[in-house]
Amino acid sequence: MALPTLAVVGATGAVGGVLCELLTSRKNVWGEIRLVASARSAGTVVSVRGQPLTVVELTPEVFDGVDVAMFDVPDDVALEWAPIAAERGAIVVDNSGAFRMEPDVPLVVPEINPEQVHHRPRGIISSPNCTTLAMIVAIGALHREYELCELVVASYQAASGAGQHGIETLLDQVQKVAGDRAVGSRAGNLRQAIGDDLGPFPAPLVLNVVPWAGSLREAGWSSEELKVRNETRKILGLPHLKVSATCVRVPVVTGHSLAIHAVFRSEVDAERARDVLAHTRGVVVVDDPGAGEYPMPADAVGTDPTWVGRIRRALDDPQALDLFVTGDNLRKGAALNTVQIGELVAASLDR
């Protein structure tokens, strides 16, 4: 039986590079693999499973004969090209925000709602935002146990969430302030040290915390905050779930984290919740404060699971849990979830 053909669109980006690494390290379910990018990146050679593959330019013809197309491109590119790929016969797995909230496009996390990959009337499946993915596997497990009714979260989002430009901006800022012990000691001198080039961020990120991620939406909310609410509702099938999020950018290269206050319909027990999470696929529990063991992005970076700790019942509500989660936003937060969806689709194909 012939293995399905895969196209990776956006193969030379930050997430695309991780996606190619995952295709190399995971069980091979693919036959031909085509790497696709803009004309600027066409001709680049990338190794996948030990084979040098030449990146080709994005055109309609590259999707001829393709069974699954994984997209990691900006929203506007996905809006234009995902339908073209689907028209050419490919099943699209899209990592952008272009289709996530469309009612006829499933939003899939394989650990939670894998059955949704079969309901794709437009030939497109969406993968959630990296901030949502940092928490949703753990929250989904707790929802199955206790029935979730409310979430209040604060995110701590890494520079890489803004792409390669975000990473380079943070590292450049680190170089500019390194060795200057006066930086940050007086109002305004951090911005003076950084200069005018803030990259994709609205303020200096190094030695700072910026309470903003995304673009401005109604009533002062950011797009990232609304994604956490709307995507969580759709994935869990809870359209009226109460969710309040505050998204914060922190000077971490890779690894999104969230502090979570989750309210359930039944009384919770921290030890039972810890056991549930410890037996959840895709979750690692790191929770021994007495020994200084907490889930931190510095440890989670480069790994696939969601790391969970600081699990405790709320002080004033027996039906609420407080916990802290972190994960590599370029892996499970983007590339890994896309690959997992693609593997589910590949397994379902009648070839």
Q: Please tell me the predicted confidence (pLDDT) of residue 351.
A: 59
Q: Please tell me the predicted confidence (pLDDT) of residue 14.
A: 85
Whether 6-127+334-348 shares its CATH topology with 132-329 is answered no
User: Which regions of the chain are under pLDDT 70?
Assistant: 351
**Which one of 20, 130, 143, 247 is the catalytic residue?**
130
Domain boundaries, the chain: 6-127+334-348, 132-329
Q: Is 256 a catalytic residue?
A: yes
List the structure tokens of 49: 């499973």
Sign, CA dihedral 159-160-166-170, equals: positive
Instruction: Please tell me whether residue 343 adopts helix, strand or coil conformation.
Output: helix
3-state helix, strand and coil shares in percent for the chain, rounded to the nearest 5: 35, 25, 40
pTM for this model (two decimals): 0.95
- Model confidence over 46-105: pLDDT tens digits? 999 999 999 999 999 999 999 999 999 999 999 999 999 999 999 999 999 999 999 999
Q: Is 149 a catalytic residue?
A: no
The yes/no answer on whether domain 132-329 falls in CATH 3.30.360.10 is: yes
Q: Please tell me the predicted confidence (pLDDT) of residue 88.
A: 97
* CB atoms closer than 10 angstroms to residue 265: 12
H-state helical runs in the chain: 14-25, 75-87, 130-146, 163-177, 189-194, 223-236, 270-278, 297-300, 336-348
Q: Please tell me the predicted confidence (pLDDT) of residue 302.
A: 95
* CB atoms closer than 10 angstroms to residue 222: 18
Distance of CA 117 to the CA centre of its chain: 18
Residues forming a β-bridge with 267: none
* CB atoms closer than 10 angstroms to residue 339: 26
Q: Are 280 and 308 in contact (CB under 8 A)?
A: no
Q: Are 63 and 42 in contact (CB under 8 A)?
A: no
**Which one of 20, 143, 247, 256 is the catalytic residue?**
256
Q: Please tell me the predicted confidence (pLDDT) of residue 55.
A: 97
Q: Please tell me the predicted confidence (pLDDT) of residue 166.
A: 95
Instruction: Please tell me whether residue 59 adopts helix, strand or coil conformation.
Output: coil
Q: Please tell me the predicted confidence (pLDDT) of residue 350.
A: 72
Which one, of 271, 313, 267, 274, lies nearest residue 295 by Cα? 274
Please tell me the distance from the alpha carbon of residue 202 to that of residue 185, in angstroms, as a whole number: 20
The yes/no answer on whether domain 6-127+334-348 falls in CATH 3.40.50.300 is: no
Supply φ then ψ for residue 210, to 5 degrees.
-110, 110
* Alpha-carbon distances, residue 174 vs 202, 208, 252, 332 (angstroms): 17, 11, 11, 27
Please tell me the distance from the alpha carbon of residue 115 to that of residue 109, in angstroms, as a whole number: 10
User: Vertex 142, ends 136 and 148: CA angle to 5°?
Assistant: 85
Q: Please tell me the predicted confidence (pLDDT) of residue 314.
A: 97
Largest CA-CA distance found in the chain, in angstroms, rounded: 67
- Model confidence over 29-40: pLDDT tens digits? 999 999 999 999
Q: Please tell me the predicted confidence (pLDDT) of residue 141.
A: 98
